[in-house]
Structure 1
Amino acid sequence: MVKDASLNLKTVEAQDAAWLSMAPTVPQWHVQILRQISSRLNIRQWNVNPDSCRTGQGFNINYNNNSLSNVTCDCTFNSSTICHVTRIELKTLGINGELPVEFANLTYLRAIDLTRNYLNGSIPRQWASLPLVFLSLLGNLVGGTIPREIGNIRTLEELVLQDNNIGGPLPLELGNLVNLRRALFTGNNFTGVLPDSFGNLRNLTDFRIDGSSLSGRIPDFIGNWTKIDRLDMQGTSMEGPIPSTISLLTNLTELRISDLNIANMPFPDLQNLTNLADLVLRNCSIIGSIPPYIGERIRNIKRLDLSFNRLTGMIPENMAALTNLQFMGGK
């Protein structure tokens, strides 16, 4: 019995060894690139080796609910013997240094999320060679300008650059990102106008440019963004009036526009925007009265801010029936 058990154990060990020899691994050049990135960003927790994708060792570390080190791999290459890194998330880890150009060498990388760190430098134009779907640099110290080459990443669906020090004009090449759904540019130093090419971004669902120095009129082409759910244009140097094409954005649930440079403008036609839950039109030099359709058609509104305009007349009586209204500001 002891002899049989020993034979069985050797068989299992042999099978395990055979399985391990065929188990998917990270190519050595991949390992070297990842080690370069960890050295650049001083990610001490990473311990990259050829088995990291399979074991998760040194990659996937949950510190708390906000901090995250996560590397996702696809191990289906070469008959499931080779792994390639497809997603890197380094969120709220306190890492610093310049954005690593080495990411561009991870040729299968589809997502980069470096949210809320202390990263600086500028966005490497070499990243444009990647098949990115998701790129987030939210809440860092990134400067420079957006490289026009980013407009070549036709696969990109989310571009989150919010709360950095990026400046200069928005490249017209970004209008080539026809699959883009979310473009978050709030809290930067952009100048110039919204390029006409942005009219091609017909898949947008979320567009934010709050707190920048963008100027020029709010363009008519926003009427092309018929899938958009959230539109934020607060605290810019843009001019009114709000174009009539805004009436085409019937999927909007959140609309925030403020501080428009204009002598006066009528209340915009929003009567078809019946899904609105949050409406802010503050300091837009709107004249006239609040239209009755606010109470008649926009029944689910929760927040209405019409402060610092030139409105006249009485609040429509039917607005008393807005049972979901939690805040109303006006002056």
Structure 2
Amino acid sequence: MNSSTHSLSRRLSFESTTTSEFEVVSRERSASGSTVEDSYCQELSASSSPSPSASFRIPDLCIECHSSEQDSPPNEEPPSQPTEEPAPQPTEEPAPQPTAPTRDDTIRSFSNVASQVSGSDVSTMARESAGMLEQVFHELFTLKRRNSMLERMAQQSNEWRVATKQLEKEVKVLHKTMKAYKSREDKLQEEVNQLRQEKEELLAKEKPQEADSSQIQSTSWLRRIIVVGIIIAVIAAYMECYAQFLKEHRHSKDLQQQLSIMHELVDKLEVERAAEYQRQLEETSKRITDDMSADIARAQKERELEHERLIEAYREKMLLYDDLTTLRKEKSQKKKKFSSWYH
């Protein structure tokens, strides 16, 4: 009897320590994850199941045993002296024994515990994934800053394009002025030809007049000087316009070369930016997938260990329950013996 009570007390103490350890671990997980889960709860609420409670409870199979032990009277040894017999007491019917838990109840309690453990693992995985997402957001922010610098360079190249367009417009205006000068030169050439014809006509008319030859010669020389001056002025204006045209043409060529160089630089920068962005995106996605797969494997291992621990604890509890049932049977048998002795 003493050995059975000693084993019962030892197993009850082991049960209390296991339940307290499970509750402490679950409370520590809930306390450590409360700060991160508050910030991440909105994202998890749309995709995952509701978070488990702070601590899980193993079904108590010994509550009825304790209550029955408190209700039952303490064990008394049989009287050693046959002369002193106690007064006869009324017989008491034995208390109804509690029914043993069914297999469905045990499976349901075990599934509740497993679901709560998997929920805590999901919360830890969510915290780790939130940290990795913060790193990804930081890298994307740096890429955005670099893209802003490239956009500024592209804006500057656009300004240069606008300047080249303005220069092209000015060149077109110069072409128009050159055409106008050419048309004016043609008109002056026609006027010169008309003056020559008039001169020839005048010379033909003034041939018979030999007396006035000196005057005719002087007037002819004056006309020739005027015509030569007009021609020189036209040629000078034409040369000046042509020199200005050449200068503007050279300037436009230089600007076109600069614009082509800027186009090439912008194209190279865009290609490099796209390649670098794609490379960094692939690296980050690969790193995230590797980390997530490693975390999932680690969480699965931890969950399997937790399942094994829970199964061992449940086995110990079932052994305790079997011992308690045997003790109840022994107590009921002793009660029957005592009642038979009294009768």
Q: What is the TM-score when the length of structure 2 is the normalising length?
A: 0.21
Query: Over alpha carbons, which structure has the higher Rg?
Result: 2
Task: Looking at secondary structure, tell me which structure has more strand per residue.
Answer: 1
